[in-house]
């Protein structure tokens, strides 16, 4: 079990998980690792692959829709599909997840309609889906705040005796923020049933990981908080699934939090408003393309005999259709009422807000043709 | 039905984009998300994918043209008749922008009014990477070609608590004000922290820079234009005075725009406009050169050492390669035999191995030597001076280096270099000899710490063992950053390089 290996490392006082745990080599060859058990057979694992294919297609569509003016900005998770899909499909129905702005694919994987998942980026709503129904907190734009929310939620769940666990998504950049420290510290002290899933994609906008962390092994921080930690291959969806699954199980059974560092790479710009060619060489991407999460999974599933050309074609067609539906929905959407701007500022609007709202309404009434 | 695709805000608050090239022609059939055109913004160069499928019936704009957000790019006839009339979000100026400010004319849709996008509001996620060459990241757009534009404003202020007086009338000036008219209220200028830092780095007193933003706000573009003007030798007011850096009229451009390497005389003359009425705002590579040279001049403690060398062996080596080339070319290694310049580059790479302190980056505090030699090759192009980079030159043999250099230079001239192929050099060579100059003192391109200038190879007298002889000689100049390198390092490099040039066999 991951737990055992990590505890041994902790007991030894050494840095945990120097090695990156992998269950599926970039070549598509399945490996066993005593520190990480995966109970999925190839047939069940195909669902992970399908979700990644659909997620990547929708991600690409969102980038294009930004270039077409349908979205204001978008943060792509291209290349990080294994981190978007694995942890989400490891959740139980009752669990909650706390995503950042880069988790659009994760939110969609949990079952939210892409149009609702992208409302934040269209500027049409702060959160386009019902958090309670989806059991997903609104995607956090401030860095690392969601980690505190997740810990608070998890502590509350534990107090009420429920067996619900929280899954907090973080980026490597978030681990440089004070909020991340506070969240990890609280979780460690109070044994909160919370899983911290850190996608170490190498970049905090334009700042590389080695300029953010004195020790670039982010999993090493678990020891300081008394939190079991492991470092996994973030482009291996079996590893992201298995590690999260085991950590959630431990959280639900009273075993406390886990820190998972998934080593991956941001293949696209930070957001569509960023130009990475100004701070990194394109040549780096070639090495990471060899580690593509989808390609290795497809090879594994084909070798296992659960995937053939027909199924690849049908899943690809399904992904294309979902992308087309998303495009049509955004292109056909009615313009928003600007007055909605005031709707959710305060539960009871202040006099100043009321005045501003009236001014805007007045302006609009005189502008309409 | 026919639908139009308008230029969206491509970067959270941008107001325009420059059309780089079209990827489709009128009459072309396009599919969903097929790239239509390449545009460059202050933040990035991007391909615009088609939101519609159908036939392109019209396209608007020429490469090089700056298009305001909301301008119609293409019309596409989809031939289905089922979809709505226009791209709603694009028509509103893009995404979140649309609904925020009712006073903006974005909703009224007149052709001219569409040039004025809605206020974008605060950046949602991150801040992009606006650096040198930024265009158009202003809260208030300036319409080129208008001598002065007074914005219409809402009759009732929207948000009185707003710290920035968004709703007060703003007079925008497309060009800096004429000298003298300039900016009342010298002294402390309003600018964003980013611009203040940029000014500090450039050691510019912001009080000298006329601001074109709301309430005289100094924008990044204002500062860049001021710096570009300063770098071009235009008259810049002394401390205490205020006014425009570029005086109106011919005087503004009379100073040659050639502070650096390799700018041909005709290029400098070419920047003088026919008429004397308009100041010429630099764009593209010219603006980048101006900013980089100004940076070099301010930051680098430039010193130079030079040496005249006997280049006969370079010519002989190139000749020897050319003589055997047909067979070698059959091996498919490279299209052309090594030139004397390529031979020299190869020897420079070898010499740098013995002098790694010259192959380094210095950011003002720390010096970082590079094991790899990424060789910048200063190149004159139609668009101005560009420095394409041959990466990992230390891994290339002579033939490989010849081809890589030729490819890099050809890419820069054709404009097909990717952005990452124009940055990251660890050492640069400027071959102004090819332009006919005997010698020169090139400018270091920070964060690099040295640059080698190569003069013309020409028959010149030399004294060999007491005898006067005629040799093919060439002057080499090494300009170095004296903050981190000293004369001994520079001379040591030149002497070693000269030894290699005299006897290239040593490089084997």
Residue B122 has pLDDT above 80, yes or no: no
Is the Cβ pair A331, B49 closer than 8 Å? no
| DSSP codes, B438-484 | S---PPP-TTB-EEEEE---EEEEEEETTEEEEEEEEEEEEEEETTT
Residue A227 has pLDDT above 60, yes or no: yes
Q: What is the pLDDT of residues B326-381, one digit of tens each?
A: 654 444 444 688 999 999 999 999 999 999 999 999 988 889 999 999 999 999 88
| Cβ atoms of residues B439 and B403 within 8 Å | no
- Among the partner residues A141, A324, A340, nearest to B125 by beta-carbon distance: A141
Amino acid B25: pLDDT: 94
Query: CA–CA distance from B64 to each of A311, B22, B39 (Å)?
Result: 46, 11, 9
Confidence band of B118 (pLDDT split at 50, 70, 90)? very low
What's the mean per-residue pLDDT of chain B? Answer: 74
Lowest mean pLDDT among A21-30, B121-130, B474-483: B121-130
Amino acid B81: pLDDT: 53
Tokens for B371?
């094991």
Q: Helix (H, G, I), strand (E, B), or coil: what is residue B139?
A: coil
Residue B508 has pLDDT above 90, yes or no: no
A272: chain B residues, CB-CB within 8 Å? 10-11, 46
A282: chain B residues, CB-CB within 8 Å? 418, 420
Is the Cβ pair A278, B419 closer than 8 Å? yes
B32: chain A residues, CB-CB within 8 Å? 324, 327
Is the Cβ pair A277, B419 closer than 8 Å? yes
Q: Tell me what percent of the residues of chain B surpass a pLDDT of 90.
A: 42
| DSSP codes, B230-280 | HHTT---PPTT--S-SS-SSTHHHHS-S-SSSS--HHHHHHTS-SSSS---
Tokens for B140?
């208030």
- Among the partner residues A68, A279, A332, nearest to B84 by beta-carbon distance: A332
Pick the CATH number of B2-115 from 3.30.70.260, 2.40.50.100, 3.40.50.720, 3.40.718.10: 2.40.50.100
Is the Cβ pair A68, B51 closer than 8 Å? yes
Is the Cβ pair A67, B46 closer than 8 Å? yes
Is the Cβ pair A67, B12 closer than 8 Å? no
Give the total residue count for chain B: 508
To the question of pTM greater than 0.80 for the whole model, the response is: no
Amino acid B345: pLDDT: 96
Question: What angle, 0 to 180 degrees and rounded to 10, lies between the N-to-C axes of helices B487-502 and B312-330?
Answer: 60
Is the Cβ pair A336, B98 closer than 8 Å? yes
Nearest CA in chain A to B425: A281
| DSSP codes, B25-57 | -TT-EE-TT-EEEEEE-SS-EEEEEPSS-EEEE
Lowest mean pLDDT among A98-107, A126-135, B185-194, B455-464: B185-194
Give the residue from A58, A64, A69 with the most B CB atoms within 10 Å of its CB, the best one to mutate.
Answer: A69
Classify the C-alpha dihedral B127-B128-B133-B134 as positive or negative.
negative
Give the residue from A72, A285, A328 with the most B CB atoms within 10 Å of its CB, the best one to mutate.
Answer: A72
Q: What is the pLDDT of residues B207-216, one digit of tens each?
A: 888 888 887 8
A336: chain B residues, CB-CB within 8 Å? 98-99
Give the C-alpha separation, B296 to B312, whole Å.
34
Residue B247 has pLDDT above 50, yes or no: no
Residue B392 C-alpha, separation from nearest chain A C-alpha, in angstroms: 12
What's the mean per-residue pLDDT of chain A? Answer: 92
* Tokens 């780095």, located at residue: B201
Cβ partners under 8 Å of residue A143, min gap 6: A100, A171, A173, A174, A177, A179
Tell me, yes or no, if the two domains B2-115 and B301-507 fold the same way: no
Give the C-alpha separation, B473 to B470, whole Å.
9
| Cβ atoms of residues B90 and B6 within 8 Å | yes
Q: Which helix (H) or strand (E) holds A12?
A: helix A2-12
Give the C-alpha separation, B215 to B484, whole Å.
43
Residue A192 has pLDDT above 70, yes or no: yes
Residue A191 has pLDDT above 80, yes or no: yes
Which residues, in sequence order, are bridge partners of residue A96? Answer: A166
Concerning whether B112 is annotated as a catalytic residue, the answer is no
Confidence band of B175 (pLDDT split at 50, 70, 90)? very low
Residue A238 C-alpha, separation from nearest chain B C-alpha, in angstroms: 30
Task: Give the active site residue among A149, A245, A266, A291.
Answer: A266
| Cβ atoms of residues B102 and A360 within 8 Å | yes
Nearest CA in chain A to B94: A69
What distance, in Å, lies between the first and last C-alpha atoms of chain A? 68
Residue A163 has pLDDT above 60, yes or no: yes
Q: Tell me what percent of the residues of chain A surpass a pLDDT of 70.
A: 95
Higher pLDDT among residues B451 and B42, named by residue: B451
What would the mean pLDDT of B213-242 be, rounded to a whole number?
68
Residue B239 has pLDDT above 60, yes or no: no
Nearest CA in chain B to A173: B126
Give the C-alpha separation, A139 to A108, whole Å.
12
Is the Cβ pair A123, B154 closer than 8 Å? no
Q: What angle do CA B147, B152, B158 make, to 5 degrees?
A: 140
Cβ partners under 8 Å of residue B234, min gap 6: B245, B246, B247, B252, B253, B255
Confidence band of A354 (pLDDT split at 50, 70, 90)? very high
| Cβ atoms of residues B459 and B439 within 8 Å | no
Give the C-alpha separation, A117 to A127, whole Å.
8
Tokens for B63?
């490469």
Q: What is the pLDDT of residues A270-286, one digit of tens each?
A: 998 888 888 888 888 99
Q: Helix (H, G, I), strand (E, B), or coil: what is residue B58?
A: strand
Domain ranges of chain B: 2-115, 171-297, 301-507
Q: What is the pLDDT of residues B487-501, one digit of tens each?
A: 999 999 999 999 999
Whether omega for the bond prior to residue B447 falls within 30 degrees of 0, making it cis, is yes
Nearest CA in chain A to B4: A68
Residue B234 C-alpha, separation from nearest chain A C-alpha, in angstroms: 30
Is the Cβ pair A338, B99 closer than 8 Å? yes
- Among the partner residues A75, A122, A273, nearest to B43 by beta-carbon distance: A273
Question: What angle, 0 to 180 degrees and rounded to 10, lies between the N-to-C axes of helices B340-354 and B487-502?
Answer: 130
Tokens for A21?
């745990």
Residue A210: CB atoms within 10 A of its CB come to 10
* Tokens 């939090």, located at residue: A257
Give the C-alpha separation, A196 to A201, whole Å.
15
Concerning whether A74 is annotated as a catalytic residue, the answer is no
Domain ranges of chain A: 2-336, 338-369
Give the C-alpha separation, A106 to A51, whole Å.
9
CATH architecture of the region B301-507: 2-Layer Sandwich (3.30)
Is the Cβ pair A274, B84 closer than 8 Å? no
* Tokens 């969609």, located at residue: A108
Lowest mean pLDDT among A256-260, A270-274, B139-143: B139-143
B53: chain A residues, CB-CB within 8 Å? none
Q: What is the pLDDT of residues A125-141, one digit of tens each?
A: 889 999 999 999 999 99
Cβ partners under 8 Å of residue B315, min gap 6: B340, B457, B472
* Tokens 């990452």, located at residue: B420
Nearest CA in chain A to B47: A67
Higher pLDDT among residues A12 and A300, named by residue: A300
Q: What is the pLDDT of residues B380-397, one digit of tens each?
A: 888 788 899 999 999 999
Concerning whether B355 is annotated as a catalytic residue, the answer is no
**What does CATH list as the number for A2-336?**
3.40.50.970
Q: Helix (H, G, I), strand (E, B), or coil: what is residue B84?
A: coil
CB contacts < 8 A (A, B): 167
Amino acid A206: pLDDT: 93
Question: What angle, 0 to 180 degrees and rounded to 10, lies between the N-to-C axes of helices A237-252 and A293-303?
Answer: 90
Residue B89 C-alpha, separation from nearest chain A C-alpha, in angstroms: 5
Residue B310 has pLDDT above 70, yes or no: yes
């Amino acid at each position: 079990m991951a737990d055992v290996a990590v505890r041994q490392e902790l007991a030894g006082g050494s840095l945990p998980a120097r090695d990156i745990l992998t269950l599926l080599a970039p070549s598509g060859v399945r490996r066993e690792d005593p520190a990480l058990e995966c109970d999925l057979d190839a047939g069940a694992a195909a669902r992970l692959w399908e979700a990644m294919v659909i997620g990547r297609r929708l991600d690409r569509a969102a980038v294009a829709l930004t270039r077409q003016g349908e979205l204001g900005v978008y943060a792509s998770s291209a290349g990080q599909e294994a981190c978007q899909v694995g942890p989400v499909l490891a959740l139980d129905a009752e669990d909650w997840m706390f995503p950042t702005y880069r988790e659009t694919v994760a939110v969609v994987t949990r079952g939210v309609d892409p149009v609702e998942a992208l409302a934040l980026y269209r500027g049409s709503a702060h959160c386009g889906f019902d958090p309670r129904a989806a059991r997903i907190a609104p995607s956090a734009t401030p860095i690392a705040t969601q980690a505190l929310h997740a810990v608070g939620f998890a502590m509350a769940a534990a107090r009420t005796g429920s067996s619900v666990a929280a899954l907090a998504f973080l980026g490597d950049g978030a681990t440089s923020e004070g909020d991340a420290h506070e969240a990890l510290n609280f979780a460690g002290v109070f044994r909160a049933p919370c899983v911290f899933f850190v996608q170490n994609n190498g970049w905090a906008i334009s700042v590389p990981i080695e300029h953010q962390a004195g020790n670039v092994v982010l999993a090493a921080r678990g020891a300081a908080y008394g939190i079991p930690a492991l470092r996994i291959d973030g482009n291996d969806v079996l590893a992201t699934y298995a590690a999260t699954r085991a950590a959630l199980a431990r959280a639900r059974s009273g075993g406390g939090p886990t820190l998972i560092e998934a080593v991956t790479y941001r293949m696209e710009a930070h957001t569509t408003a960023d130009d990475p060619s100004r701070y990194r060489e394109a040549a780096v991407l070639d090495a990471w393309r060899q580690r593509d999460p989808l390609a290795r999974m497809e090879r594994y599933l084909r070798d296992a005999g659960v995937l053939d050309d027909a199924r690849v074609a049908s899943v690809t067609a399904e992904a294309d259709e979902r992308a087309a539906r998303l495009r049509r929905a955004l292109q056909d959407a009615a313009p928003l009422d600007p007055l909605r701007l005031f709707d959710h500022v305060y539960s009871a609007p202040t006099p100043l807000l009321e005045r501003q709202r009236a001014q805007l309404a007045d302006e609009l009434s005189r502008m309409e043709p | 039905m026919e639908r139009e695709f308008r230029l969206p805000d491509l970067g959270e608050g941008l107001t325009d984009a420059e059309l780089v090239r079209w990827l489709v022609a009128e009459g072309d059939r396009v599919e969903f998300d097929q790239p239509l055109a390449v545009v460059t913004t202050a933040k990035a160069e991007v391909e615009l994918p088609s939101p519609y499928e159908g036939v392109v019936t019209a396209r608007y704009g020429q490469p090089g043209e700056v298009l305001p957000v909301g301008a119609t790019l293409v019309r596409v006839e989809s031939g289905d008749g089922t979809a709505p009339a226009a791209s709603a979000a694009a028509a509103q100026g893009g995404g979140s922008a649309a609904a925020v400010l009712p006073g903006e004319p974005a909703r009224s849709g007149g052709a001219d009014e569409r040039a004025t996008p809605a206020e974008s509001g605060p950046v949602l996620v991150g801040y992009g990477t606006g650096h040198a060459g930024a265009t158009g990241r202003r809260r208030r757009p300036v319409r080129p070609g208008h001598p002065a534009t007074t914005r219409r404003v809402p009759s009732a202020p929207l948000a009185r608590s707003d710290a920035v007086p968004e709703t007060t009338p703003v007079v925008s000036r497309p060009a800096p004000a004429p000298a003298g008219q300039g900016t009342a209220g010298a002294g402390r200028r309003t600018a964003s922290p980013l611009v203040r830092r940029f000014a500090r780095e450039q050691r510019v007193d912001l009080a000298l820079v006329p601001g074109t933003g709301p309430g005289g706000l100094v924008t990044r573009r204002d500062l860049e234009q001021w710096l570009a003007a300063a770098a071009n030798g235009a008259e810049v007011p002394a401390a205490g005075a205020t006014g425009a850096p570029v005086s109106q009229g011919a005087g503004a451009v009379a100073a040659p725009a050639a502070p650096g390497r390799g700018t041909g005389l005709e290029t400098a003359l070419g920047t003088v406009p026919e008429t004397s009425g308009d100041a010429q705002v630099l764009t593209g590579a010219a603006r980048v050169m101006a900013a980089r040279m100004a940076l070099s001049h301010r930051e680098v403690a430039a010193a130079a050492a030079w040496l005249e060398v006997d280049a006969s062996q370079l010519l002989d080596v190139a000749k020897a390669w050319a003589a055997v080339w047909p067979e070698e070319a059959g091996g498919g290694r490279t299209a052309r035999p090594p030139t004397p310049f390529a031979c020299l580059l190869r020897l420079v790479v070898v010499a740098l191995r013995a002098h790694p302190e010259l192959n380094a980056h210095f950011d003002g505090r720390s010096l970082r030597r590079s094991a790899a030699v990424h060789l910048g090759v200063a190149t004159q192009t139609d668009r101005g001076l560009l420095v394409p980079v041959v990466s990992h030159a230390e891994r290339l043999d002579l033939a490989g280096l010849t081809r890589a250099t030729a490819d890099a230079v050809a890419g820069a001239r054709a404009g097909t270099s990717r952005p990452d192929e124009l940055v990251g050099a660890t050492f640069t060579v400027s071959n102004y000899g090819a332009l006919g100059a005997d010698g020169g003192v090139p400018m270091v391109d920070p964060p690099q710490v040295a640059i080698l200038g190569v003069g013309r190879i020409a028959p010149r007298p030399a004294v060999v063992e007491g005898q006067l002889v005629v040799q093919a000689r060439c002057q080499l100049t090494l300009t170095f950053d004296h903050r981190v390198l000293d004369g001994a390092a520079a001379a040591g490099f030149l002497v070693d390089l000269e030894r290699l040039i005299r006897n290239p066999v040593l490089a084997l």
